[in-house]
Chain A
């Protein structure tokens, strides 16, 4: 993780500001930084999205491929996550450092989606026991300026919303063998229902309070954070303490409460934006990587 240095006096200044609900950049404790979201940004994917949050920038690509269902769950497809922390984002990612962070992030993503409702995996089944859709979700960190989890989860939800899986038909020949046939119409696509895809909220404990969307400076003043993945109806699909310190039970309960409230509130504006973008479709000037 990219780290910054903060002197003792700066720390005191940041701590007192958070106590008074006025952070260094003028935000309150539960405010996010300015966020920009765009989907369909790379062409060689079935769905993609780019999210910037402050100076943090994340790119997610989704590719749908046909695979074999897992033996224990023959009538479902599955998701694979990979997070790449290239040295592009910060020199600290060079070598092992980036690899470790990438594994941690993707492990959390598997946990977030390891339940029956986050994504309807039945809809990814093609023929039970034989073929299913595998969605490869590749996350690329372009720039790190704190709060990676939240930005990544929003980018994944947007990219899945944007994903168009080609329709396939299964035909059986005379000898009983089965064949997969791709639809001729390129617009004949299946969409993924993202209604229940959770958003992750990272709560950073600074002094006696906690903040959302912490900057790197604020993170440097914190001993521990709680990440919490919340669906639009407030179900928690993953929670985890991260960081070297410990938290007392009461603050965990308070942070869970804030996390649920904030996480729930993220979904409506996100869905509204994604629908708005789709309705504009071709009329809109794409920005891509130019900003």
Chain B
């Protein structure tokens, strides 16, 4: 029962139902003059040359009152306080964990920002470092919230809520942070039978929806019981849908993911990533999204 799909490559195009990517004034490349008006203030991604405010990065111009910035289109995650992130532990240090959150610098999870079972855990000796490792160790995935931003830009995280904590069985999908739509909540139990954490940092976590007794994804004990086959199929389908949406630059939020899932149902999970299937289901998704808005 071996399957291989070999073919000649075709030129791929991003499809979109909205306005075609014609000339847009708010998009600039380095060297473009944004304004010659001296009344503006110089923000990130700009410099002043001969009294003209000029872009220094490729991106989108943003104005806030008198301040002009250029937000780079392609960037690592620039976290803000309150953002939900999914990250991977890279190092266990004294009193803190280092976390890869797709940011320029590794983020930090302080021991004091974690509610561990059995009350406070303070690191006094090498023994405590072992205890820290017992809860979260290198390679583990966590969900957390940005608590503050250090002066060098590194993020300080906290998991002081039942919904945050160590992640168990599931699938991580890494996507550009710019494709994650900001919403009131980034945790969803999707009606198709799986749950999703859409991290603001572009790390998306798919996992089986847990029973009533331990509803939160967080905590520090992870079940290693086998996940049922139907649940796996839903999760794999969602994973491929997320990648298809991202390939066509569609914003990710619960509704777009769900519409894409529904559009994909006539295809086998493993076929979703074939170019023509991908185009078809993303097209259907965009039509559904437009119909809902209209």
A window 3-58: CB within 8 A of B: 5-10, 12-13, 16-17, 19-20, 22-28, 30-38, 52
Complex Cα gap A34–B4 (Å): 7
Q: Which residues of B lie under 8 Å from residue A38 when comparing CB positions?
A: 8-9
Interface of A, helix, strand, loop or mixed by DSSP: mixed
The answer to whether B140 touches A37 (Cβ under 8 A) is no
The answer to whether B8 touches A26 (Cβ under 8 A) is no
Q: Which residues of B lie under 8 Å from residue A32 when comparing CB positions?
A: 3-5
The answer to whether A25 touches B270 (Cβ under 8 A) is yes
Partner of A7, one of B7, B11, B139: B139
The answer to whether B7 touches A37 (Cβ under 8 A) is yes
Q: Which residues of B lie under 8 Å from residue A212 when comparing CB positions?
A: 2
Complex Cα gap A33–B4 (Å): 7
The answer to whether A37 touches B12 (Cβ under 8 A) is no
Shortest B127–chain A CB gap in Å is: 22
The answer to whether B4 touches A26 (Cβ under 8 A) is no
Q: Which residues of B lie under 8 Å from residue A116 when comparing CB positions?
A: none
Which partner residue on chain B sits nearest A23 by CB separation?
Answer: B236
The answer to whether A22 touches B5 (Cβ under 8 A) is no
Q: Which residues of A lie under 8 Å from residue B171 when comparing CB positions?
A: 10, 13, 24
B window 63-106: CB within 8 A of A: 88
Q: Which residues of B lie under 8 Å from residue A23 when comparing CB positions?
A: 236
Q: Is B24 an interface residue (CB 8 A)?
A: no
B window 144-192: CB within 8 A of A: 167-172
Q: Is B226 an interface residue (CB 8 A)?
A: yes
Partner of A5, one of B11, B88, B270: B88
With A9-B167, A24-B171, A34-B274 known to touch, is A273 a contact of B8 (CB < 8 Å)? yes
B window 1-59: CB within 8 A of A: 1-12
Partner of A35, one of B4, B11, B224: B4
The answer to whether B170 touches A285 (Cβ under 8 A) is no
Q: Which residues of A lie under 8 Å from residue B140 when comparing CB positions?
A: 7-9
Partner of B9, one of A10, A33, A262, A291: A291
Complex Cα gap A31–B268 (Å): 13
The answer to whether B2 touches A30 (Cβ under 8 A) is yes
A window 258-275: CB within 8 A of B: 261-262, 265-266, 269-270, 273
Which partner residue on chain A sits nearest B168 by CB separation?
Answer: A9
The answer to whether A25 touches B6 (Cβ under 8 A) is no
Q: Is B272 an interface residue (CB 8 A)?
A: yes
With A13-B227, A266-B4 known to touch, is A285 a contact of B239 (CB < 8 Å)? no
Which partner residue on chain A sits nearest B235 by CB separation?
Answer: A24
The answer to whether A35 touches B7 (Cβ under 8 A) is yes
Complex Cα gap A168–B273 (Å): 47
Q: Which residues of A lie under 8 Å from residue B6 when comparing CB positions?
A: 35-37, 269-270, 273
Q: Which residues of B lie under 8 Å from residue A35 when comparing CB positions?
A: 4-7
Shortest B265–chain A CB gap in Å is: 13
Partner of B139, one of A8, A31, A269, A276: A8
The answer to whether A31 touches B169 (Cβ under 8 A) is no
Q: Is A290 an interface residue (CB 8 A)?
A: yes
Shortest B221–chain A CB gap in Å is: 11
The answer to whether B139 touches A277 (Cβ under 8 A) is no
Residue in B167, B168, B268, B271 with the greatest tally of chain A CB atoms within 10 Å: B168
Q: Is A284 an interface residue (CB 8 A)?
A: yes
Complex Cα gap A277–B8 (Å): 8
Shortest B38–chain A CB gap in Å is: 43
11 contacts between A and B (CB under 8 A): A6-B139, A7-B140, A10-B141, A13-B169, A13-B170, A24-B236, A26-B239, A26-B240, A35-B7, A261-B2, A273-B7
User: Which B residues lie at the A interface, using CB under 8 A?
Assistant: 1-12, 88, 138-141, 167-172, 222, 224, 226-227, 229, 232-233, 236-237, 239-240, 268-275
Known: A7-B88, A30-B3, A273-B7. 4 other contacts (CB 8 A): A13-B169, A26-B271, A35-B6, A37-B9
User: Which A residues lie at the B interface, using CB under 8 A?
Assistant: 5-10, 12-13, 16-17, 19-20, 22-28, 30-38, 52, 212, 261-262, 265-266, 269-270, 273, 276-277, 284-285, 287, 290-291
